[in-house]
Structure 1
Amino acid sequence: MSSTEAILVLEDGRVFRGESYGAIGETIGEIVFSTGMTGYQETLTDPSYKGQIVAMTAPHIGNTGVNDEDFESSRIWVDGYVVRDAARVRSNWRSNATLDEALEHQGVVGIAGVDTRALTRHLRDRGSMRGGISSVSTDVESLLARVNAAPVMTGASFIDDVTTEQAYVVPAVGEKRFTVAAIDLGIKGMTPRRMAERGIEVHVLPASTTFEQIAAIGPDGVFMSNGPGDPAAADRAVTTLKQVLEARIPYFGICLGNQIFGRALGLGTYKLVYGHRGINQPVQDLTTGKVEITAHNHGFAVDAPIEGTFETPYGAGRVTHVCLNDQVVEGLALLNQPAFSVQYHPEAAAGPHDAAYLFDRFVDLMSSAKAGV
């Protein structure tokens, strides 16, 4: 790891000093914190982090290095990385590089040696905000000016940056039971694999795919993935989903796919103060009463009444899941047609796996639709 001095400057003027980690350079983005104690490789390669500098609350990062198996996409997507104690050596039989080497190789600017507890408390109290990391200059005022001139996350769209350029198919494992059209808004690699394990042939499609192109596949269900940016800027996906719902094709959405579902139902979305990011968030399934520990990565949420039902253009809807930390809506469903979504990540690489049943719920919806129930 380099011993080059680095600085982290927040838009409100707070400054943290440390050493460069990863590539030498400068980066600016919305700075957020993730509470996961494991799974940093999956976090780094989650396309939903496009446009963000991620600070890890776990103090020791990089212990297991990186490997070729745990990437959730083809590259690292975070715009910057902040850690407290960077591991000096990697120790895992699957590891083929250090985390520092991987960040440097992919041009990701980071900073180590930061008091991430103080940083997290600051973001928790003041909210996520723009920040900048520089290991090429220690001129705080100059970097602060560039940070405050940078775009904010509200209104930002990164879907076209992260979506697949070409459609591809993830074949069903074993006997094929269903065909699903998965709209890639920033999909994680584990998601189509979780569906394939259940006999689903998954056609992963670019975000620009039209309803007519979806219908041409003859899908038993449509899925919309997680992704970065403000759901209020995702009008194209909302329009497509409305057509899916009008056609009464079974629908399942995750994360951004939940927010787009909410918008299609006529609900609003809003920005959370500091968001939910990590693998230890308690969520209650209101349909069963069961509490799950879940993986999250979202800075926006759907504005919907937690109790009772609400009217939509497709009949009554309801909130199905809620975060027990702050009562944020974590799931939605229609009562009279096969469509539901969750705000968190049931594919959960690298865990936990409490919410994996949601893929089975999608299978049940498609089974019932096929049977005409």
Structure 2
Amino acid sequence: MTPQNFTIAAIPGDGVGSEVVDAGRTVLDAMAEHNGAYSFTWEEYDWGSDYYSRTGLMMPEDGLERLRPVDAIYFGAVGWPTIPDHITLWGLRIAICQGLDQWANIRPVNFLPNVPSPLRDAEKRDLDWIVVRENSEGEYSGFGGRNFHGREGLGQVATQNAVFTEVGCERIMRYAFDLARSRPRKKLSCVTKSNAQQHGMVLWDDVFKRVAAEYPDVESDSVLVDAMAARFVLNPESLDVVVASNLHADILSDLGSALAGSLGLAASANLNPEKRTPSMFEPVHGSAPDIAGKGISNPVGAVASAALMLDTFGLAGEGDALRASIAETCRQGILTRDVGGTATTHEVTQALIDNLAVAAPAPSAHLV
């Protein structure tokens, strides 16, 4: 039987992105070689800050068209001190997410064995939640501008407009409800700020109420973003699936990852759930210029993102095995410095491969 082949575009990007993408590729290729029922073809793209320094662009003008035929995109990180962050982010990551309509961003918050958390007695508590981020509009729509540059003194004006559409709100709400329905607790919390943002976020709330009526089996509530930030810290056991706008989910998911021990552990998936275009999988830790090239970056976030990619390929059992290997590696105390260990990127990567054979995967509610 011919192995099923998946074509993946690898975009390491900047800083530690190349290190963690290389680690993820090494683990995936080891899995494929051992299994024999599937294989990966890698297409490599050197887009990012170095590319910008050479060309004035973060990726070529036909970059999106090059990406459309692949099965998935595996992304490392973007950002470098010599280039303004809004140029690197909008020129690459957001350009891909918006250009390919990857409208659902999924960020699980997982507490792993032996990883210290700032939460008291975290290891004794039932903590496991997922942040669902609207990934196409909202506060990151890109509408606005800067004007009156010629005025004297402090005359310049900048506008940044948040855009909420009924279509955008409804599709992310339905995705979040379907995800919550697939999990044992069947609970969804919606994050809002409609008391202060009386137009866009009131539409957001209205759509949530309308869609919630179609999911009577899912417990739901609506929480102001400031109260939700407090809940993440003070009552995280109450969380299951959390749906939020582009900005709110961006911030809250990073808070969740910090509570779990490190942004280096955090995985994410930028999904086009209809599969009209390829989805993109990336760790959320950023390019970390201060440790780039030292071989000490944490590959867990990138490898956990690869597990989400396997889910979308219909290889959910393989994704579960990879998540089990991550848990076993942490249980053995093979940790990088950001989570209190001394292991190198290479040592953690090798442990993940070794533990694929011994870690018993636990069934999970798959995200995609």
Q: Output the TM-score relative to the length of structure 1.
A: 0.29
Q: Which has the higher strand share?
A: 1
Q: Output the TM-score relative to the length of structure 2.
A: 0.30
